[in-house]
Amino acid sequence: MEKAWRWFGEKDAIKLDMLRQIGVEAIVSALHDIKNGEVWPLEAIADYKNYIESFGLRWSVVESLPVSESIKYAGDDRDLLIDNYIQSLENLGKAGVKTVCYNFMPVLDWARTDLYYQWEDGSSSLYFDKAKFAYFEIHILGRIEAVNDYSEEILNKVKAIHSSITEKEKEDLIDTIIVKTQGFVNGNIKEGEQNPVEKFKSLLTLYKGIGKEQLRENMKYFLEKIMPICEKWNIQMCVHPDDPPFSLLGLPRIVTCEDDIDWLLKAVDNPHNGLTFCTGSLSAGINNDVPKLAKKYASRTKFVHLRSTNILENGDFVEAHHLEGRGKLIDVIKIFEIENPGLPMRIDHGRLLTDDIGKNYNPGYSFLGRMLAFGQIHGVIETLKDDLEN
């Protein structure tokens, strides 16, 4: 596997020389300053690529070239936005950056309720608390019909949260779900937004009446339009699975499990329509057997995210150590080393260790926590390669 690292550009507190020193070979990044929906100019792409290369690294994956909401809900301007997307792909192709990660999640790009779940050793990781999310839907967004989406047990917990939550805790929850986890990935709501809850609610209304079948149709439409430019430049499109892989906010989810992936790969049966195999997102689906999926989809996988989770009895999930939990990374790496060697992989999320605290890293993107996982995974890859060669 190619050992890559997600880097957020020159503003990132983690510098490229540091990455080179720990054995990183390639960079996963995006032109983060360009607004969602606008064309990425060739010159800006080339400058960014040259900068990365000046450190002896290569820009191997774009994560993400975001798909505008209007493409997802089929708004009036979707064709114009798809044309812009095609132009960005053309420019990436010309510049030689040919693996492009994206997602097709309505409104919310990944969801967590807690950024600092405490472990006994003082480190922390990201966490998804079902009852807190239900509370957010029902009491903060006022989405009353959400009561139909949750069990009685969860609804009882929601009542308890409602009677004890402080204003500060409420603000933190809003900030975590719709601001802190979204702004840095070119999501809909940025830090400093005056009224994030109102903006979020108005985004949700765009999807009124759009169910799973319609969202699938819209995704197919988008992929069919962009395949010719991908063929021209040999660009690999790789969709990121929905995180978490179950429905939230009454919105449809279409990349969550084997059935979904089967549908997606058949609907547009073109080798340029591929997957970002995210062991973290997939492992949070109770019915997903991650190594089994890796084996089945190895040839259509173009990029790998390595991370693991544990699902708790109450339905919450927590991000686990990279070598533990449901992600089964050692098995997955072995499968990819045999079935599709050389794929770019990056460590996804890491714990926040004591010396990471206060450094203003994006949620999940600590330095020491990720470096620890990177070192472990590097060792696993080399050991497996050695075993396979002998």
Q: Check binding of 110 to ligand DNO (CB under 6 A).
A: yes
Q: Check binding of 2 to ligand DNO (CB under 6 A).
A: no
Is residue 273 a contact partner of residue 265, using CB atoms and an 8 Å limit?
yes
Active site residue 162: no
3-state secondary structure of 120: coil
Q: Name the strand (E) or helix (H) holding 98.
A: none
Contacting residue, 78, 240, 321, 322, with ligand DNO by CB under 6 A = 240
Closer to ligand DNO by CB, 64 or 340: give it.
Answer: 64
Is residue 134 a contact partner of residue 119, using CB atoms and an 8 Å limit?
no
Active site residue 139: no
Q: Check binding of 279 to ligand DNO (CB under 6 A).
A: no
Is residue 154 a contact partner of residue 130, using CB atoms and an 8 Å limit?
yes
Draw the binding track, 312-351, toward ligand DNO (x: CB under 6 A; -: no contact): ------------------------------------x---
Is residue 348 a contact partner of residue 306, using CB atoms and an 8 Å limit?
yes
Tell me which amino acid residue 72 is: K
CB of 244 to ligand DNO, least distance (A): 11
CB of 99 to ligand DNO, least distance (A): 12
Draw the binding track, 48-67, toward ligand DNO (x: CB under 6 A; -: no contact): ---------------xx---
| Integer Cα distance of 367 and 96 in angstroms | 28
As a dihedral over the C-alpha atoms of residue 252, residue 311, residue 110, residue 117, rounded to 10 degrees, the angle is 150
Closer to ligand DNO by CB, 64 or 288: give it.
Answer: 64
Active site residue 365: yes
Handedness of CA 343, 297, 258, 78 (dihedral sign): positive
CA distance to 67, 81, 260, 261, per residue, from 210 (Å): 17, 19, 17, 20
Closer to ligand DNO by CB, 1 or 65: give it.
Answer: 65
CA distance to 21, 64, 110, 186, 212, per residue, from 373 (Å): 15, 22, 21, 25, 36
> Annotated catalytic residue: which of 85, 260, 349, 356?
349
Stretch that binds ligand DNO, among 101-109, 111-119, 137-145, 290-298 (CB under 6 A): 101-109
Is residue 310 a contact partner of residue 325, using CB atoms and an 8 Å limit?
yes
Q: Check binding of 115 to ligand DNO (CB under 6 A).
A: no
Active site residue 117: no
Contacting residue, 102, 133, 136, 374, with ligand DNO by CB under 6 A = 102
Phi, psi angle pair for 239, to nearest 5°: -75, 140
Binding residues for ligand DNO, rule: CB under 6 A, are 63-64, 101-103, 109-110, 185, 240, 348, 364
Which residues are designated catalytic? Answer: 240, 278, 305, 348-349, 365
